[in-house]
Amino acid sequence: MKGHHVTAQRQLLLQIIHDACGHIDARELHRRATRLHDSISLATVYRSLHFFTELGLVDERRLGQIRCHYEIKQTPEHQYLVCRGCGKIIGFESPLIRKLVDKVQHNHRFIVTKAELYLEGYCEQCKEKTVPIDS
């Protein structure tokens, strides 16, 4: 964060996002942060998330949901599975996405600055509760 004021609160929030090893929404980030530093307000969390996103340190994802989820910046090949049952988000990487982007850029003389793919379905636990098993 060269050239920007780095507060203890911003450092803590960025560390929590990093330690989440996946996706965390603003309310969960606030909940975890207040356990460690009780003076962090929800407004500070939102301002910091906006700041981190503008600096390119954190990605903001909607993934078909109302709330945004945040994670440390990922590679373009990092994509998502979203469970329609419990809302769990599972990250995965596929070199096929990079190949697709390269082909689209070449064929259409277009520069892709962001590629986002998410697949909806059911995780292992929700699949057992939702999808009937043929007997």
Confidence (pLDDT) at 77: 63
- Same domain, residue pair 88 and 29: no
For residue 55, give both structure tokens. Answer: 């600096």
Q: Do both 55 and 103 map to the same domain?
A: no
The per-residue pLDDT for 38 is 87
Same domain, 32 and 87: no
Q: Are residues 65 and 115 in the same domain?
A: no
Q: Residue length, the chain?
A: 135
Domain identity same for 66 and 83: no
Residue 89 sits in the same domain as residue 38: no
Whether residue 2 has pLDDT greater than 70 = no
| 79-128 per-position pLDDT tens digit | 888 888 887 888 888 888 889 989 999 999 999 877 777 788 898 888 87
pLDDT digits (tens, 9 = 90+) for 115-128: 777 788 898 888 87
Residue ending a domain, choose from 27, 50, 73: 73
* C-alpha to C-alpha distance for 77 and 55, rounded to whole angstroms: 20
User: How many domains does one find in the chain?
Assistant: 2
Q: Which domain holds residue 78?
A: 74-135
32, 54, 73: which is the final residue of a domain?
A: 73
Q: Which residues pair with 61 in a beta bridge?
A: 69
- The tokens for 63 are 């993934």
Give 80 or 77, the one with higher predicted confidence. 80
Last residue of a domain, one of 56, 73, 90: 73
